[in-house]
């Protein structure tokens, strides 16, 4: 048991070291939102499962994770376009129907962003729900002379697309379409 724990600690440490890639000093932001014709409680039941983003996000092939919906939980998100992203849950607020997470391991071939943190939140709007997804992130190449495939515009486009398509998927699932 003790050996297993030591081994696991070792693995976690290696993962942490691998994840420690430098990002640049100028973060970018995106903000996407959508109106959903379903009550917040119903939308939240779908959206809150951190490891189950694959159930509703149209760009996600599959997702799996450990730790449930508690800060410190992790998920691996395999993209339909290829490659996988690893996220860590930072803050989970049941009362406010919001959670924040960040990229734990970058994969700039799959997703041209070197680091992101993001927050998904729900607010009631009449009988329905306003869902908002915001992100803070850095381009893939954080040097001062990035190529056209690793610059701010590419990162903004990728992030914006991922969040807006995700919200459309959440809406479709919650509205039962």
Partner 1 sequence: MQRRALLTATFALLLVAVAWGGESRGLVFVSNQDDATVSVIDTEKDDVVATIPVAFAPASITADRDGRHLYLTHPERGEVSVIDVGERRVVSSFKVGGTPFGIVVSHDGTLFIADWNNDTVTAVDARTGKRLREVVVGRSPAGIITSPGGALVIVANRESDSISILNASTFALVATIPVGRAPFALTISPDAQHVYVANVQSADVSVISTQTLQPVASVKVGPMPYGLATSRDGSRLLVANQSAGTVSLLDTRDMKVFATHKVGRFPEGLAIEPQGRKAYVANWFSGDVSVLDIVTGAEIKRIKTGSGSRALVAVRVPASAHAEPMP
- Mark residues 132-161: x for contact with partner 1 by CB under 8 A, - for none: --x-x-----xxx-----------------
> Closer CB to partner 1, residue 62 or residue 102?
102
Q: Quote the CA–CA distance of 93 and 100 in Å, as a whole number.
A: 9
Q: Which residues make Cβ contacts (< 8 Å) with residue 143, sequence separation at least 6?
A: 24
Q: Do 101 and 147 meet the contact criterion of CB atoms below 8 Å apart?
A: no
Q: Does 16 bind partner 1 (CB under 8 A)?
A: yes
Task: Sort 15 into a burial class: Cβ within 10 Å, 0-12 / 13-18 / 19+.
Answer: middle
Binding map of partner 1 across residues 52-91, x = CB under 8 A, - = no contact: -------------------x------------------xx
21 part of the interface to partner 1, by CB under 8 A: yes
24 touches 143 (CB < 8 A): yes
Binding residues for partner 1 (CB under 8 A): 16, 19-22, 24-27, 29, 31, 71, 90-91, 100-102, 117, 119, 134, 136, 142-144
């Amino acid at each position: 048991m003790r050996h297993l724990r030591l081994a696991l600690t070792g693995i976690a440490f290696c993962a942490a070291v691998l994840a420690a890639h430098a990002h640049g000093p100028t973060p970018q932001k995106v903000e996407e939102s959508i109106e959903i014709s379903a009550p917040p409680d119903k939308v939240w039941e779908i959206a809150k499962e951190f490891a189950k983003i694959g159930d509703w996000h149209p760009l996600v092939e599959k997702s799996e994770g450990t730790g449930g919906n508690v800060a410190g939980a992790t998920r691996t998100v395999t993209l339909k376009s290829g490659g996988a992203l690893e996220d860590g849950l930072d803050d989970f607020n049941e009362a406010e129907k919001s959670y924040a997470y960040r990229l734990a391991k970058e994969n700039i071939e799959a997703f041209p962003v070197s680091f992101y943190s993001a927050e998904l939140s729900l607010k009631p709007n009449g009988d329905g729900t306003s869902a908002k997804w915001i992100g803070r992130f850095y381009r893939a190449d954080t040097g001062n002379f990035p190529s056209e495939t690793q610059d701010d515009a590419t990162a903004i486009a990728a992030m914006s697309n991922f969040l807006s398509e995700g919200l459309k998927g959440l809406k479709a699932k919650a509205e039962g379409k």
